[in-house]
């Protein structure tokens, strides 16, 4: 027997006689009913809850506010003159019969969108829209929208990387976005940039689909299998990808401080903006074609979300995230209600398993509703904060340009899906990763020219730049727990966000604010929760509709924990808790709350006898549940006290010995380990395909 084995045996012999005594003092008596004390004014029975009042089976075209007279035609089209670009939405899958009918009437199909059962017809005479509305299966004739585009301390502020102000960040938990693919749908990415080198996994040029790009025409068209690598002729896409996942590496190989949130996340480069012209989308020549390229790019992502990309390992198959730093303006007064085709496509992507992060828009405080894309019912819409160029979040304010919610009412009776944006992140005065077109020293249209000598220059502001930072945070969450669904990820971000501002519509939700959403995104807290769900095997049971929130923890002789819960779709059957992963106990409820209305929180209470817990720290986990589904858990650390039941005197040296053994065992078994800065550097380096890359970047473009 070796020396280590002998030592462990001796320790075991010394500890065995103490087992009973230690258990008496330090373990909660979970087998007894009196661990929780019923207090006056509380009851055991949960309040009755009024069911929700809206019809969840209703079809969107029956209630959309974009068609107030219910004639199957968007209101703005009825006053248009001349020629307009139109979309036909159907009540079912598009069939060959539908195509033949359009051909019979002389219409040419520009594109099909199977994810939302729609057909893009493009330019038609406005007098024809009534004929189109009468075609069998067509439920809505709508108009194309217009596309618009909406560093330094950004990654530190969202708590992805640790800092002096926030000593532990998400990277310390062992995640950097490795194996997570972000589909940056933008103007393309110059991934030769030293901070983006080695990230390209797959790409697609949706601009080439409409064949308005001369370089595409000369090349004979481009493939759809993901093998094409688009360049950035605008700068916007390169800057956004930098904020999501660049490494901060300079052209000379040195490490800058311009980190992105997920340094090891990889790129699916989907180009929807053309190289023709040098301005943002609204300055391009053919509005119709850019709308079609945008929707084509999104449909390509949905269609190829599970693809095995050529030349990459299995860990990098598929598409995990769509990052959208642009919007589509509506022709309806007051913005979109989320029922337009482009908003519904983002809903379809979320339902298909791709998490969507999109910009709220740059219309400022007095905006009347949100644009299309920003108005998607299911995606994660991001507002922008001004971080004042400091890491500390204490001085952060909402950015003056950031669009405010709520979204325009879509008429379905459900007030919850109007609560947009969901989260906020720094978007002002952010350092950018420099694309080829920006430097003036290279031109993508000349063979051999690239951005490999570029750096990080200039500053810009917009919700465009808050969005990719959140996309990077989502990549960290997915790496921490790959089994989370997009809607669960959205709920994790909402629940762990740092609350800001008063509740704007407390009768609907006590936490949502029209400027910040549910608060400023917190990467560290979000990754912690994602890891906890994975480690405790609870991921599959999380229902985002079940809400449970902590209100107060106090210790005044006993341990009193209070909170409130409600359901956004059905009812909460019970609120329960467990201590140190033991058995589940029911919470108590407010005696005065016999019945509560739909969406109305009811109070719950947990009153623990600290002496029954045993001395030391204990973890209390609380959840709202219905059937086998549950809310995200609340985790509370409490302190028990010595019950005085110990009858055995333990020498100090034995306590020390037991502590040493405990530390060794915990070190071996702990599931969420904090990483040091040196370990993070090594982790980032080891995971890269390009050995000189060591960091991450943040960037952002001025609209």
CATH value at residue 651:
2.60.40
pLDDT of residue 388: 86
- Dihedral over Cα of 479, 484, 485, 486: its sign: negative
The reported pLDDT for the residue numbered 645 is 41
Is the per-residue pLDDT at 63 higher than 80?
yes
Residue 276 scores a pLDDT above 50? no
Distance separating alpha carbons of residues 264 and 75, to the nearest angstrom = 46
Q: How far apart are CA 194 and CA 248, in angstroms?
A: 8
Phi, psi angle pair for 653, to nearest 5°: -65, -25
Residue 648 lies in a domain: yes
CA angle, 575 then 581 then 587, to 5°: 20
Q: Is the domain of 442 the same as that of 308?
A: yes
679 membership: H or E segment, kind and range: helix 677-687
Distances (CA, A) of 591 to 47, 594, 605, 609: 9, 7, 11, 21
Q: Are residues 78 and 112 in the same domain?
A: yes
pLDDT score recorded for residue 447: 63
Domain presence at residue 692: no
The chain-wide mean pLDDT, for the chain, equals 84
Query: How many whole angstroms separate alpha carbon 494 and alpha carbon 676?
Result: 28
Res. 629: pLDDT tops 90: yes
pLDDT at 372 over 50: yes
pLDDT tens digits for range 673-682: 466 666 666 6
pLDDT band at 251 (very low <50, low <70, confident <90, very high): confident
| 241/364 same-domain check | yes
Q: Which of 142-151, 185-194, 199-208, 627-636 has the highest mean pLDDT?
A: 627-636
Query: SS in 3 state form for 423-449?
Result: EEEECCCEEEECCHHHHCCCCCCCCCC
Segment 392-403 mean pLDDT = 91
pLDDT over 70 at 60, yes or no = yes
Look up residue 613 and give its two tokens: 């817990």
Q: Report d(CA 374, CA 352) in Å as an integer.
A: 19
d(CA 525, CA 502): 21
Split at pLDDT 50, 70, 90, the class of 115 is very high
Counted domains in the chain: 3
Give the pLDDT confidence score for residue 448 in this predicted structure: 63
Q: pLDDT band at 441, cuts 50/70/90?
A: low
Q: Give the percent of the chain with pLDDT over 90.
A: 58
Q: Considering the domain boundaries, does residue 520 fall inside one?
A: no
Q: Which domain holds residue 82?
A: 69-143
Q: Which residues pair with 640 in a beta bridge?
A: 616
Q: Is residue 106 part of a domain?
A: yes
- Considering the domain architecture, whether residues 353 and 470 belong to the same structural domain is answered as yes
Percent of the residues in the chain that have a pLDDT greater than 70, as a whole number: 81
Instruction: For residue 511, tell me if it sits in a domain.
Output: no
Q: In sequence order, which ranges of 455-522 are alpha helices (DSSP H)?
A: 463-480, 486-496
Of 27 and 457, the structure prediction assigns the larger pLDDT to 457
Phi, psi (deg, nearest 5) at residue 698: -130, 140
Q: In 3D, which of 222, 223, 175, 227 has the Cα closest to residue 200?
A: 227
42 and 188 assigned to the same domain: no
Q: According to the model, what pLDDT value does residue 24 have?
A: 33
Q: Of the candidates 475, 490, 525, which is a domain's last residue?
A: 475
In this structure, of 364-378, 441-455, 477-491, 644-658, the range with the lowest mean pLDDT score is 644-658
Q: Are residues 183 and 308 in the same domain?
A: yes
Of 429, 448, 475, the position where a domain reaches its end is 475
CATH of the domain at 113: 3.30.70.80
Higher model confidence: residue 614 or residue 702?
614
For the record, the structure tokens of 634 come out as: 């609340």
CB-based contacts of 96, cutoff 8 Å, min separation 6: none
Q: Is there a single domain that holds both residue 202 and residue 262?
A: yes
Distance (Å, whole) CA 617 – CA 640: 6
Say what the pLDDT of residue 55 is: 92
- Output the pLDDT for position 324: 94
Whether 519 is covered by a domain: the verdict is no
Looking at the predicted structure, is the pLDDT value of residue 408 above 80?
yes
Res 499 pLDDT > 90: yes
Distance set, CA 180 to CA 212, 264, 287, 341, 506 (Å):
32, 8, 33, 28, 36
- Helix, strand, coil shares, percent, the chain, to 5: 30, 25, 50
Show Cβ contacts of residue 611 under 8 Å, excluding neighbours closer than 6 positions.
640, 641, 642, 643, 644
- From CA 486, how far away is CA 471, in angstroms rounded? 12
pLDDT at 676: 64
Q: Pick from 622, 634, 623, 625: which is nearest to 573 by CA?
A: 625
Residue 319 reports pLDDT greater than 60: yes
- Name the strands in the sheet holding 546-555, side by side, starting at the edge strand that comes first in the sequence: 42-43, 588-590, 602-608, 559-567, 546-555
How large is the average pLDDT for residues 382-404?
A: 91
**Residue 664 vs residue 452, higher pLDDT:** 452
Average pLDDT score over residue span 31-57? 86
pLDDT, tens only, 297-312 = 999 999 999 999 988 9
Residues 112 and 41 placed together within one structural domain of the fold: no
Task: Return the bridge partners of 509, or none.
Answer: none
pLDDT score at 670: 34
Q: Are 82 and 126 in contact (CB under 8 A)?
A: yes
Cα separation, 136 vs 579, in Å, equals 60
Verify that 80 and 48 share a domain, yes or no: no
**554 confidence band (pLDDT: 50, 70, 90):** very high
The string of pLDDT tens digits covering residues 86-104 is 999 999 999 999 999 999 9
> What confidence tier does 133 reach under pLDDT thresholds 50, 70, 90?
very high
Q: Are 150 and 399 in contact (CB under 8 A)?
A: no
Query: Is the domain of 101 the same as that of 43?
Result: no
Same domain, 428 and 469: yes
* Packing angle of the helix pair 652-669, 3-15 (nearest 10 deg): 120
Report the pLDDT averaged over residues 574-594: 95
- Judge whether residue 626 has pLDDT over 60: yes
Q: Confirm whether 212 is domain-assigned.
A: yes
Of the candidates 85, 119, 143, which is a domain's last residue? 143
Strand 266-271 and strand 118-125: pairing? unpaired
Predicted confidence band at 438 (pLDDT cuts at 50, 70, 90)? low
CA distance 540 to 484: 8
pLDDT at 669 over 50: no
pLDDT per position as a tens digit, 67-78: 999 999 999 899
Q: Is residue 187 located within the same domain as residue 228?
A: yes
B/e letters for 626-644, b = 16+ CB within 10 Å, e = fewer, are beebbbbbbebebebbebe
Q: Which is nearest to 150 in space by CA: 512, 494, 421, 388?
A: 421
What CATH number should be reported for the domain holding residue 302? 3.40.50.200
- Whether residue 79 lies inside any domain: the answer is yes
């Amino acid at each position: 027997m070796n020396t280590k084995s002998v030592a462990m045996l001796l320790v075991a012999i010394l500890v065995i006689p103490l087992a009973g005594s230690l258990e008496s003092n330090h373990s909660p008596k979970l087998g007894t009913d009196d661990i929780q004390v019923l207090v006056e004014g509380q009851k055991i029975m949960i309040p009755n809850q009024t069911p929700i009042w809206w019809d969840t089976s209703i079809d969107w075209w029956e209630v959309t506010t974009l068609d107030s007279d219910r004639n199957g035609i968007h209101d703005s089209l009825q006053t248009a003159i001349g020629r307009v670009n139109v979309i036909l939405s159907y009540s079912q899958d598009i069939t060959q019969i539908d195509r033949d009918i359009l051909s019979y009437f002389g219409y040419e199909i520009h594109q099909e969108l199977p994810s939302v059962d729609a057909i893009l017809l493009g330019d038609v005479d406005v007098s024809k829209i009534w004929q189109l509305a009468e075609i069998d299966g067509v439920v809505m004739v709508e108009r194309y929208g217009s596309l618009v585009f909406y560093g330094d301390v950004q990654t530190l502020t969202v708590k992805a990387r640790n800092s002096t102000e926030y000593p532990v960040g998400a990277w310390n938990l062992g995640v950097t976005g490795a194996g997570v693919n972000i589909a940056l749908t933008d103007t393309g990415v110059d991934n030769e940039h030293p901070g983006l080198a080695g990230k390209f996994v797959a790409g697609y040029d949706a601009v080439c689909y409409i064949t308005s790009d001369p370089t595409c025409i000369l090349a004979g068209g481009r493939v759809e299998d993901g093998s094409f690598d688009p360049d950035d002729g605008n700068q916007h896409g390169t800057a956004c990808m930098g904020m999501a996942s660049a490494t901060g590496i300079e052209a000379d190989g040195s490490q800058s401080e311009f980190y992105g949130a997920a340094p090891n996340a990889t790129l699916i480069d989907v180009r929807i903006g053309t190289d023709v012209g040098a301005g943002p989308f609204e300055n391009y020549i053919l509005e119709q074609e850019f709308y079609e390229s945008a929707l084509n790019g999104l449909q390509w992502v949905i269609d190829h979300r599970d693809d095995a990309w050529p030349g990459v390992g299995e860990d990098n198959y598929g598409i995990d995230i769509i990052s959208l730093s642009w919007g589509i303006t509506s022709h309806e007064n007051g913005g979109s209600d989320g029922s337009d085709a482009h908003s519904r496509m983002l809903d379809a992507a979320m339902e298909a398993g791709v998490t969507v992060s999109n910009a709220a828009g740059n219309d400022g405080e007095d905006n009347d509703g949100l644009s299309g894309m920003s108005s998607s019912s299911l995606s994660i819409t991001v507002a922008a904060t001004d971080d004042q160029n400091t890491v500390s979040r204490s001085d952060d304010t909402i950015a003056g340009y950031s669009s405010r919610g709520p979204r325009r009412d879509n008429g379905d009776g459900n007030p919850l899906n109007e609560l947009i944006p969901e989260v906020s992140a720094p978007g002002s005065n952010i350092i950018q990763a420099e694309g080829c077109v920006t430097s003036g020293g290279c031109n993508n249209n000349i063979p051999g020219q690239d951005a490999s000598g570029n750096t990080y220059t200039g500053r810009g502001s917009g919700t465009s730049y808050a969005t990719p930072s959140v996309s990077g945070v989502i990549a960290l969450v997915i790496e921490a727990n790959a089994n989370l669904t997009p809607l669960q990820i959205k709920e994790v971000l909402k629940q762990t966000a740092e609350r800001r501002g008063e509740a704007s519509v407390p009768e609907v939700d006590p936490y949502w604010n029209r400027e910040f959403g549910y608060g400023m995104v917190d990467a560290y807290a979000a990754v912690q929760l994602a890891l906890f769900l994975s480690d405790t095997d609870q991921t599959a049971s999380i229902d985002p509709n079940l809400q449970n929130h902590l209100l107060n923890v106090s210790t005044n002789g006993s341990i009193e924990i209070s909170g409130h819960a409600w359901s956004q779709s059905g009812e909460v059957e019970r609120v329960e808790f467990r201590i140190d992963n033991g058995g589940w106990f029911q919470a108590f409820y407010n005696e005065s709350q016999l019945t509560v209305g739909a969406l109305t929180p009811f109070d719950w209470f947990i009153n623990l006898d600290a002496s029954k817990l045993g001395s030391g720290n204990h973890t209390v986990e609380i959840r709202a549940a219905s059937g086998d589904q549950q809310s995200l858990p609340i985790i509370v650390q409490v302190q028990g006290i010595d019950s005085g039941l110990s009858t055995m005197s333990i020498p100090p040296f034995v306590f020390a010995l037991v502590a040493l053994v405990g530390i060794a065992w915990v070190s071996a078994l702990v599931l969420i380990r904090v990483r040091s800065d040196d370990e993070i550097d090594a982790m980032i380096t080891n995971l890269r395909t390009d050995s000189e890359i060591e960091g991450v970047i943040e960037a952002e473009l001025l609209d």
